[in-house]
Amino acid sequence: MTRNTKPDFYALSWRLPIIIWQALFFLGPIVFMIAMSFFLVKNYRMTEAFEFVNWGRMMTRGYFWDSYWHTIWIASLSTLCGMLIAFPVAYTLAFRASENTRRMAIFLLIIPFFTSYLVRTFSWFVILSESGVLNAMLGWVGLGPYTMLNTTFGTLVGYMTLTLPLVVILQTLAMANIDRSLVEAAHNLGCKPLQTIWRVILPLAKTGMIVAAVFCFILSFGDFVAPFYLGGSQDPTLPILIIDTTKSGQQWPRAAVVAIMMMLTLFAVAFAGIALAYRKRAMS
């Protein structure tokens, strides 16, 4: 069969809007940001240049690497917590709930996205502060008060607010499609119910589970609101470092360096996730 090599303008006209959108709002800004990382700042004004000064400075500074590893650590912790908290919920929705309950639950899990994340984060002040609801309740049983705001715990609460609904949805979808006869076959062959989760359900839901974990990591890694407002920007994460850098002496080029490092990290995590999710068994 010979392929028609003439461009199909009709098909192109449908694809064009998304191509233009991607070029304008994704590719363009990235190219500009990469270029900007080589610019110089003189007298608080950015000037076009091609110098490695910013890269050299950021890559050799301890505070950058401290922040980098701290962000990776806390985003990983967030991923672990998110996956563990979401799993029992998603498992129940996928295997125990009826079709209607599951649909309703997924709808309810989408609702939080209708409200501003910032507003949801601020509502935690009421609950977590020294004189807040949670400490008051703990006080009745003779505990506390505990400092929960401006701690790593606070940051994690914020990350969960951001990621948990999505992680539950992704995990539920990953498990809802599992062929029930495979789970029954495992029981039939002597696999205990809890063992079945590890032996059969997780291997079958692997791809969806990894996608959920990667999303949880990416969202936490790039989030500014939770570490800034609930974590009190102690041990600044990379998003906080970017804000600080742009504020102090208009160092946009150095902020660009941080941003590019973040993007590279996220690409690496996403590709590692995809490679793991779709890793084929050796076939002989």
Verify binding: residue 190, another protein, rule CB under 8 A: yes
By rule CB under 8 A, what count of residues binds another protein?
Answer: 22
- Distance in Å, CB of 193 to another protein, minimum: 7
Query: Whose Cβ is closer to another protein: residue 131's or residue 188's?
Result: 188
Single residue of 36, 200, 210, 259 touching another protein by CB under 8 A: 200
- Distance in Å, CB of 205 to another protein, minimum: 10
Q: Is 47 helix (H, G, I), strand (E, B) or coil?
A: strand
Query: Whose Cβ is closer to another protein: residue 148's or residue 210's?
Result: 210
For 136-167, letters b (16+ CB in 10 Å) and e give: eeeeeeeeeeeebbbbbebbbbbbbbbbbbbb
CA gap 281, 80 in Å, rounded: 26
Single residue of 5, 43, 131, 284 touching another protein by CB under 8 A: 284
Site mask, another protein, residues 138-177, x = CB under 8 A?
----------------------------------------
Verify binding: residue 204, another protein, rule CB under 8 A: yes
Hey, which residues between 206 and 245 contact another protein (CB under 8 A)? 206
Distances (CA, A) of 73 to 30, 70, 80, 121, 242: 26, 5, 11, 21, 18
CA gap 39, 256 in Å, rounded: 10
In the chain, at which residue ranges do the beta strands (DSSP E only) sit? 40-42, 45-47
CA gap 206, 83 in Å, rounded: 13
Sign of the CA dihedral 260, 246, 69, 151? negative
CA gap 54, 205 in Å, rounded: 44
- Distance in Å, CB of 195 to another protein, minimum: 7
- Distance in Å, CB of 181 to another protein, minimum: 4
Verify binding: residue 5, another protein, rule CB under 8 A: no
Contact in structure between 121 and 46 (CB atoms under 8 Å) = no
Single residue of 24, 108, 182, 268 touching another protein by CB under 8 A: 182
How is residue 208 written in tokens? Answer: 């969806």
* Binding region for another protein (CB under 8 A) out of 51-59, 162-170, 192-200, 265-273: 192-200
Verify binding: residue 188, another protein, rule CB under 8 A: yes
Residues near another protein, by CB under 8 A: 179, 181-182, 184-193, 195, 199-200, 203-204, 206, 281, 283-284
